[in-house]
Amino acid sequence: MRSLRLVTCLLMGSLVLAACGRADAPGAGSAASGPGSAAPQRSLVMVASQVPTDFAAKGLAGGVGAATGVAENIPGVILNAALAIADERARVSPYLAESLPQLNSDSWQLFPDGTMETTYRLKPNLVWHDGQPLTAEDFAFAWEVYATPEYGVDRSIPIRFMSSVAAPDPRTVVIQWRQPWADAGILQGEQGGGSTTTSFPPLPRHILEDAHLESTGTGEGFLPNNPFWNANFVGAGPYKLDSYNPGVSIEGLAFKAHILGRPRIDRVSIRAIADVNTALAATVAGEVDFGADLFRAQEGLILERDWADGVVLWEALGSRTLQFQLRPDLASPPEIATDVRVRQAIAHAIDKRESFDAVTGGRGIMSDTRTHPGEEYHPLVDREVTKYPHDPRRTQQLLEEAGFTRSSTGRWLDTRGEPAGLPIWFTGGSSLFEQENAIIADQLKQFGFEAIPGRFPSGGSQQDRAQLPGMLAVGSGQFTTYHSANIPGPETRWAGGNRGGYSNPELDRLLDLLEGEVVRDEIVRLTIQIERLVSSELPGIFLYWHSRAWNHVNVLKGPTVRQVPKGAGSPMRNIHEWYWEP
């Protein structure tokens, strides 16, 4: 059955990419592919699940509520440049900047009133793709645009922390900060994976200033609707835009004046394959040179087994958490909102290893912390958190202490003598997460809960998702999710990741302190306190870090993947160094 499906998909994938045409014919490039080689190049065919429409990767294109970035925004990485750039372990180095601000020096000053100032000195002779000089004025102008409330990104990080950006001379960028912030000295571009919290790319004032000054509130005159963000994009990254076919493909040419060096591959072609089976077939058929976050464990394992011409790179950064509904009027059973012992009992009833093996294929990371095991200070956090190993006896003890009883059939009854109904939801979109949901629901059923598996449609409203009873499996396991400011409600138009409505003033205080802390030792100390509190209060059960598979052909040299989730650079960050093996 699998073989028949794969053959069918192979035919589909070949037809899809053949229709796009492969840009590797003679004449597509002529620079050397490797040291000492002068052979004509093939174009680099990169495939993602969709072609984004916001190449600046700030979520501005389209206006408020229409952010069009995707999980892996390839154009946002390779067409753009920024002040700093990070490697796969989040080690940061200068990019457009000549050097990075250093805390407690003239380049990074903290003031008694709680504000800050950072100064970046740009490298000389920076230019945009159109050949015009890139200066400090382009960063000052970018802040003016990003900080405009009508454009919808003024509350994004780091823009909301900035009070002004000035350019006292063409090579000096001075940023005034409303508050302390640890990442103020490492402002990057699009990091990939949705991690854009240090994203502050410049914008070409000479192209956009008039459009910004004359921007209307609607229609074609509204700056977020300007074709600059895609069809007319001009950046300073390693590749410059050659052509754009909406929803289908993007073609880029090597930028000779790229400040980190001219790319060794002359041409890239970015294409979209939304269907995972079609993408898998096209990869095995040799139609894809580089796959950007196309696959999860099931497909990655198939590639490892059947794809002799390629390399699979595993990135275990995605987290899975079961969030409890903590609003008493919505919770089911109601005790999950009012008695932490019931939440702890449920945690002990789940054998995470079974769903971990199904979802990650053994390529993820088992963990009890929301701090990634790849972080240097993870051992300090791990020894402080409350852990919930699979322990049916402990589950029974906690439930009995909370006033639950067992019926003659072995089913648990809540404090009112009613069957302990426990809906368990997942958001549609991945068969692996559906499998995860079924496994966990079955485990809880076997233990005596009225566990009810449920699929919430991927296009469902945020209000409905925030009001689901029971538990909801989510992809964000970050402890910052549980700040009360992130509780969805009418006042936030139901936006916010704290879908269960958890609120704890002490956690809010610690999270606020963490957001404004710049000293590493204090950041670690606060992180330990927060992890200890969240693991004991248990607003959600952290399951594990699941994996996603990136892939590239054997003859492509240079790609790596992130090793930590916070601050690590996109896997495409060093694309200017990639080359074809002779």
Say yes or no: 66 and 160 in one domain: yes
Q: Model confidence at 71, in pLDDT bands (50, 70, 90)? A: low
Say yes or no: 62 and 208 in one domain: yes
Q: Model confidence at 4, in pLDDT bands (50, 70, 90)? A: very low
pLDDT at 51: 86
CATH of residue 245's domain is 3.40.190.10
Helices 136-146 and 205-213: angle between axes, nearest 10 degrees: 30
DSSP 463-514: HHHHT-SSEEEES---GGGGSGGG---GGGTT--S-TT----HHHHHHHHHH
Is residue 31 within 8 A of residue 296, CB to CB? The reply is no
Overall average pLDDT of the 350-356 stretch: 96
Task: Look at 214-223, 243-252, 371-380 and tell me which has the smallest mean pLDDT.
Answer: 214-223
Domain count of the chain? 2
pLDDT reading at 349 higher than 50:
yes
Is residue 303 within 8 A of residue 547, CB to CB? The reply is no
- Residue % of the chain over a pLDDT of 70: 90
pLDDT at 70: 54
Which residues, 6+ apart, have CB-to-CB distance to 91 below 8 Å? none
Within-domain flag for 216: yes
Say yes or no: 261 and 410 in one domain: no
pLDDT at 458: 77
Which residues, 6+ apart, have CB-to-CB distance to 224 below 8 Å? 60, 61, 62, 63, 64, 66, 151, 152
Q: Model confidence at 19, in pLDDT bands (50, 70, 90)? A: very low
How far from 224 is each of 64, 144, 230, 249, CA to CA, in Å? 9, 14, 11, 21
Overall average pLDDT of the 333-346 stretch: 97
Which residues, 6+ apart, have CB-to-CB distance to 538 below 8 Å? 324, 340, 343, 344, 347, 386, 388
pLDDT at 346: 98
Alpha helices in 330-430 (DSSP H): 335-338, 340-349, 352-360, 378-382, 392-401
- pLDDT for 125-183, tens place per residue? 999 999 999 999 999 999 999 999 998 888 888 999 999 999 999 999 999 999 999 99
Overall average pLDDT of the 520-533 stretch: 96
- Per-state percent for the chain, helix, strand, coil, to nearest 5: 30, 20, 45
Say yes or no: 342 and 428 in one domain: yes
- pLDDT for 418-468, tens place per residue? 999 999 999 876 788 899 999 999 999 999 999 999 999 877 888 999 999
pLDDT reading at 63 higher than 70:
no
Overall average pLDDT of the 502-521 stretch: 94
pLDDT reading at 69 higher than 50:
no
**What is the Cα–Cα distance from 227 to 244, expressed in whole angstroms?**
11
Within-domain flag for 535: yes
Which residues, 6+ apart, have CB-to-CB distance to 258 below 8 Å? 81, 236, 237, 238, 576
Within-domain flag for 234: yes
Stated pTM of the model: 0.82
- pLDDT for 267-276, tens place per residue? 999 999 989 9
Q: Model confidence at 36, in pLDDT bands (50, 70, 90)? A: very low
Domain hosting residue 235, numbered range: 55-269+295-309+554-580
**What is the Cα–Cα distance from 99 to 136, expressed in whole angstroms?**
14
**What is the Cα–Cα distance from 171 to 259, expressed in whole angstroms?**
14
- pLDDT for 275-298, tens place per residue? 999 999 999 999 999 999 889 888
Is residue 564 within 8 A of residue 375, CB to CB? The reply is yes
pLDDT at 432: 85
Q: Model confidence at 367, in pLDDT bands (50, 70, 90)? A: very high
State the number of CA atoms in the 13 A half-sphere of 217 facing the CB.
Answer: 1
Query: Burial, 389: exposed, middle or buried (Cβ in 10 Å; 0-12, 13-18, 19+)?
Result: exposed
CATH of residue 325's domain is 3.10.105.10
Of 343, 337, 332, 351, the C-alpha closest to 543 is 351
What does the buried/exposed string (b/e) look like for 274-301 if buried means 16 or more CB atoms within 10 Å of the residue's CB?
Answer: eebbbbbbbbbbbbbbbbbbbbbbbbbb
- pLDDT for 90-130, tens place per residue? 999 999 999 999 999 999 999 999 999 999 999 999 999 99
Greater model confidence, 24 or 116: 116
Q: Model confidence at 344, in pLDDT bands (50, 70, 90)? A: very high
Three-state secondary structure readout of 164-214 = EEEEEECCEEEEEECCCCCCCCCCECCCCCCCCCCECCCCCHHHHHHHHHC
Say yes or no: 374 and 246 in one domain: no
Task: Look at 231-240, 332-341, 511-520, 547-556 and tell me which has the smallest mean pLDDT.
Answer: 511-520
Say yes or no: 476 and 523 in one domain: yes
Say yes or no: 104 and 221 in one domain: yes
Within-domain flag for 33: no
Greater model confidence, 65 or 291: 291
Say yes or no: 252 and 384 in one domain: no
- pLDDT for 199-209, tens place per residue? 899 999 999 99
Give strand pairing partners of 119.
174
Q: Which two tokens stand for residue 555?
A: 């003859």
Say yes or no: 474 and 572 in one domain: no
Q: Which two tokens stand for residue 436?
A: 């995860």
Is residue 531 within 8 A of residue 194, CB to CB? The reply is no
pLDDT at 333: 95
Overall average pLDDT of the 517-534 stretch: 95
Overall average pLDDT of the 227-235 stretch: 95
AA identity, residue 72: E
Q: At CB < 8 A and 24+ separation, what contacts does 406-409 make?
A: 406/448
Torsional sign, CA 123, 124, 130, 135: positive
**What is the Cα–Cα distance from 396 to 538, expressed in whole angstroms?**
18
Of 25, 158, 18, the C-alpha closest to 82 is 158
Within-domain flag for 276: no
pLDDT at 472: 95
Say yes or no: 514 and 561 in one domain: no
State the number of CA atoms in the 13 A half-sphere of 357 facing the CB.
Answer: 4
Look over the chain and give the mean of its residue pLDDT values, rounded to a whole number. 89
Within-domain flag for 416: yes
pLDDT reading at 239 higher than 50:
yes
pLDDT reading at 246 higher than 80:
yes
pLDDT reading at 223 higher than 60:
yes
Say yes or no: 171 and 255 in one domain: yes
Task: Look at 71-85, 232-246, 278-292 and tell me which has the smallest mean pLDDT.
Answer: 71-85
**What is the Cα–Cα distance from 417 to 394, expressed in whole angstroms?**
21
Within-domain flag for 7: no
- Residue % of the chain over a pLDDT of 90: 72
Within-domain flag for 15: no
- pLDDT for 481-504, tens place per residue? 999 999 998 887 787 889 999 999
**3-state SS, residue 18:** helix
Q: Which two tokens stand for residue 99?
A: 């050097």
Say yes or no: 75 and 187 in one domain: yes
